[in-house]
Amino acid sequence: MNKIFLIIQREYLVRVRKKSFIITTILVPLLLVLIMIAPIFLSNLKSGSQHIAIVDQSGEFSQIFENTNHLNFINLDRNTNLKNVDKLLKDMNWDGLLYIPKLDINRPLGITLYSRRQMGLGTESYLRHQLENQIEKQRLAVKGYDSDWLKQFKVKLNINSVITSKIGNKSANSIVSYALAQIMGFILYFVIFTYGSMTMKSVVEEKRNRIVEVLISSIKPFQLMMGKILGVAMVALTQLLIWIILIGILGSLVFAGSIPYLNVNPNSQAISQMGAQTSTTHIEKIIIGLQSISFGPLIGYFLFFFLFGYLMYSSLFAAVGSVIDDDTETQTMTLPIAIPVIAAMLIMITVIEQPQSTLAIWTSIFPLFSPIVMIARIPFGVPTWQIISSMILLIITFLVFIWMAGKIYRTGILMRGKKVTFKELWKWIRVKN
């Protein structure tokens, strides 16, 4: 056991000390959080403090636009010459110019927003909603109704989705489950591939450097292989844990920082007054959804399926690595491993659309697919018997695979200059002792 520990230690330290490891470990969560928050911030930054000139031919609309922290309106003379709008915008340093012709309220055509750059969705929708609101009012007024009278009929709805099974009986939000399922499924796919092939590379290197015979004269081949697999697993675990912690910290910091900011955003306030679905309510939903998920068990399941999914596949990768003699063989030999991993990922994408379908149930129990498919199903709620049978099958498959891999590895690492067929591999597995 002590010797396996030495192998684990070396495999771990060699990798963790690498610059590339340190960089990806820190950069990935930063990028992920950036990607998540970038759209929110970008839309806000654009509407930062924009100056919009208004040419209102009828004079009926100019009063509906009120200055806010983010938007400044300048009312221009209705006869302003618009032949050279671009020069005007440039000279005056305005972000946009809204032209409202004399409108037929039954056919309100010809409203134009001139700008030198994209104005940002928030600003545009604010302008549109204000105009729509005003035209609505006018139409109602023509028929003799007050706009307040209409408000009493407006309805604002939020559908509360509740899963009634034991596992998921808390109110959960399908958007959050969907996102979590996708993220976890993809991370597992990525981890199995990256770290599986890292194990393979490590085996190939020792074979190619010809150090392997010295090694196995000191320790048993199985110990060497196990040490490698576990060493790389520790590297993966370290990276994942750092990711989870960093994303957790960064994510909550950024969220906490952005929520009040979003609430004072005049655009969204104005828009929500109109009763439309807005980004604020989306974010509220996400926060409620996130709060409804019990992250403890989820992280537990995630680590379990990561660990055994990785162990199962990396034992195959190690076996393949021991057989490979030159790079040209790598592709043909890794293909049989890559196919189920890629298939699992594709199945996962369909399964999260219908997480309780028959396909979902069986593929999440089948051990070659379960690490990726099951983890993607769990946020939606999965019956206990399915999770347990999936876990047991995965452990059993891992044990069978590691035993087979040990047999192949033992013979493979000392083989040179000979192409090995799958038939031969089967022979090696059956050889006793």
Partner 1 sequence: MILKIENVIKQFESVTALNKVNFSIKRGRIFGLLGPNGAGKTTLIRIITQITKPDEGEIIFDDSKLELSHISNIGYLPEERGLYPNMKIREQLVYLASLKGIPIKTIKQNMLELFKKFDIENWLDKKPSELSKGMQQKVQFILTILHKPKLIILDEPFTGLDPINTNLMKKEIREMSNRGVSIIFSTHRMEQVEEICEDIVLINKGKVLLTGNVDEIKYKFKKNHFLIKYKGEIPQNLLDELNIISHKNNEIVVKNEFQKNNNLLSQLLPHIEIITFKEVLPTLNEIFIDQVKGVSDE
Q: Which stretch binds partner 1 (CB under 8 A): 2-10, 101-109, 246-254, 289-297?
A: 2-10
Q: How far is the CB of 223 from partner 1 (least distance, A)?
A: 9
Question: Among 218, 263, 328, 350, which residue sits at the site for partner 1 (rule: CB under 8 A)?
Answer: 218
Residues in the interface with partner 1 (CB under 8 A) total: 20
215 binds partner 1 (CB under 8 A): yes
Q: How far is the CB of 428 from partner 1 (least distance, A)?
A: 11
142 binds partner 1 (CB under 8 A): no
Query: Of 341, 302, 303, nearest to 320 (Cα)?
Result: 341
253 binds partner 1 (CB under 8 A): no
Q: How far is the CB of 12 from partner 1 (least distance, A)?
A: 13
Q: Where are the alpha helices (DSSP H) in 17-81?
A: 19-46
Q: How far apart, in Å, are the Cα atoms of 384 and each of 69, 75, 165, 348, 374?
A: 53, 65, 10, 19, 12
Q: Which stretch binds partner 1 (CB under 8 A): 214-222, 260-268, 316-324, 361-369?
A: 214-222
Indicate the residue type of 84: N
Q: Are 373 and 364 in contact (CB under 8 A)?
A: yes
Q: Which stretch binds partner 1 (CB under 8 A): 128-136, 138-146, 207-215, 395-403?
A: 207-215
249 binds partner 1 (CB under 8 A): no
429 binds partner 1 (CB under 8 A): no
Q: Which stretch binds partner 1 (CB under 8 A): 210-218, 259-267, 323-331, 374-382?
A: 210-218
Write b or e for each residue in 205-223: b if 16 or more Cβ atoms lie within 10 A of its Cβ, otherwise e: ebbeeeebeeebeeeebbb
Q: Are 74 and 99 in contact (CB under 8 A)?
A: no
Please give the Cα distance from 320 to 204 (Å, whole number): 9
**135: burial class by Cβ within 10 Å (0-12, 13-18, 19+)?**
middle
19 binds partner 1 (CB under 8 A): no
415 binds partner 1 (CB under 8 A): no
Give the end-to-end CA distance of the chain in Å, rounded to a whole number.
20
Partners of residue 72 on adjacent β-strands: 51
328 binds partner 1 (CB under 8 A): no
326 binds partner 1 (CB under 8 A): no
Residues that bind partner 1 (CB under 8 A): 2-3, 6-7, 10, 14, 209-211, 213-219, 414, 416, 427, 433
